[in-house]
Amino acid sequence: MLKYSIRRILLTIPTIFITISVIFFVLRILPSDPASVILGDNATPEAIQALREKLGLNTSVWAQYLHFLQSMIQADFGNSIATGRSVSDQIISLLPYTLELTLASILIAVIIGVPIGIYSAIKRNSISDALVRLFALMGISMPAFFLGILLLLVFSLKIPIFPSMGAGENFVGNLYHLALPALSLGLIEAGIVMRITRSSMLDEVNRDYVRTAKAKGIPKKMVISKHILRNSLIPVVTVIGLNMTTLISGAVLTEAIFSRPGLGSLAVGAIETRDYPTLQACLVLFCILVIFVNLIVDLSYSILNPRIRPQ
């Protein structure tokens, strides 16, 4: 297990290197000049040149790239053009809000999606199964921002139970403000988890080991919990890992809808103000988060299915 984990962790290093390199060169090959875009059409050539020197754009691309890699190693993203503050300080202060929103959404999706998916598989072709599949289809088809707006209209304006914006000032207030944003993302993810759990459970039911367990007289509940469910969780974990990109992008819109602080709001503000250092840092961090989650998913395979470890 330890060797398997170390090997997987080491494989993430070139992945992160390639990812941040792609982000750097994509931003550099854009047709517009960042300094000209930031200062606007009425800027003088002297002002544009001064900003280019400040941003380090007056050197060659390869010199910029080496400086970029050095800064990444030191976790130094420079200063924001819009605010003048350190980008790293802004990210450190806002990252917990995005992480708690994403983790709360996953927790809601798992708590709702897995049990209902199991129940739907056990009650296959019943009325309750049809209702579960209908709910799952609605969740998959509904955009996160649309559900967020509906929850905001109903539970903040029509029935003022939850706050419509902000993040709270203490632990209880933070959870109170987190409820609607997490539900808007978690319910949609729950629909996907339901479908995958149900489908995976039905695939495992017809396996030879299940028939053997039943032939030995093992109780049905034990067969489901000890054998079928554990093997069914591998596709579920895979889907949750693959949907992390969707959750992070959904968090960007959700934070904007609920006026919630976070990396999503920071990235949107950077786009509006043409704050390239901040935008570049947000893109790098989003990619690293996705890679890190995929690493966790990969390591969880070896726990759910030990046969994967020697491969």
pLDDT of amino acid 143? 75
Mean pLDDT value across residues 200-225: 71
pLDDT of amino acid 34? 66
pLDDT of amino acid 39? 67
> Residue 104 pLDDT > 80, yes or no?
yes
Closest CA to 251 of 148, 151, 133: 148
Full domain range(s) for residue 16: 2-73
- Say if residue 119 is in the same domain as residue 172: yes
Q: Which of 20-34, 180-194, 261-275 has the highest mean pLDDT?
A: 180-194
- Say if residue 54 is in the same domain as residue 97: no
Comparison of pLDDT for 105 and 144, the residue scoring more? 105
pLDDT of amino acid 1? 60
Alpha carbon distance 172, 153 (integer Å) = 23
User: Could you tell me the pLDDT band of residue 41, with boundaries at 50, 70 and 90?
Assistant: low
- Say if residue 67 is in the same domain as residue 145: no
Asked whether residue 251 is domain-assigned, the answer is yes
Comparison of pLDDT for 1 and 148, the residue scoring more? 148
- Say if residue 198 is in the same domain as residue 93: yes
Mean per-residue pLDDT of the chain: 76
- Say if residue 121 is in the same domain as residue 67: no
- Say if residue 135 is in the same domain as residue 280: yes
With pLDDT > 70 as the criterion, what percentage of the chain qualifies?
A: 80
**How far are the Cα atoms of 202, 224, 225 from residue 212, in angstroms, in the given order?**
16, 13, 15
- Say if residue 64 is in the same domain as residue 161: no
Comparison of pLDDT for 200 and 300, the residue scoring more? 200
Write out pLDDT tens, residues 151-196: 888 887 788 777 777 666 766 767 778 888 888 888 888 888 888 8
Are the C-beta atoms of residues 204 and 117 closer than 8 Å to each other?
no
Comparison of pLDDT for 38 and 112, the residue scoring more? 112
15, burial (CB in 10 Å: exposed 0-12, middle 13-18, buried 19+): middle
- Say if residue 139 is in the same domain as residue 46: no
Comparison of pLDDT for 39 and 102, the residue scoring more? 102
pLDDT of amino acid 32? 63
pLDDT of amino acid 73? 79
Contacts of residue 91, Cβ cutoff 8 Å, sequence gap at least 6? 77, 263, 266, 281, 282, 285
Residue 174, domain CATH = 1.10.3720.10
Q: Which of 54-58, 272-276, 288-292 has the highest mean pLDDT?
A: 288-292
> Residue 37 pLDDT > 80, yes or no?
no
Comparison of pLDDT for 90 and 230, the residue scoring more? 90
Q: Which of 73, 103, 135 is the last residue of a domain?
A: 73
- Say if residue 161 is in the same domain as residue 288: yes
Q: Which sign does the torsion angle of CA 190, 194, 195, 201 carry?
A: positive
> Residue 276 pLDDT > 70, yes or no?
yes
> Residue 311 pLDDT > 60, yes or no?
no
In the numeric block, the tokens 């890699």 are attached to 69
Write out pLDDT tens, residues 237-258: 777 777 776 677 677 777 777 7
End-to-end Cα separation, the chain, in angstroms: 11
- Say if residue 125 is in the same domain as residue 254: yes
- Say if residue 117 is in the same domain as residue 143: yes
Tokens of residue 74, six digits: 């030191």
Asked whether residue 80 is domain-assigned, the answer is no
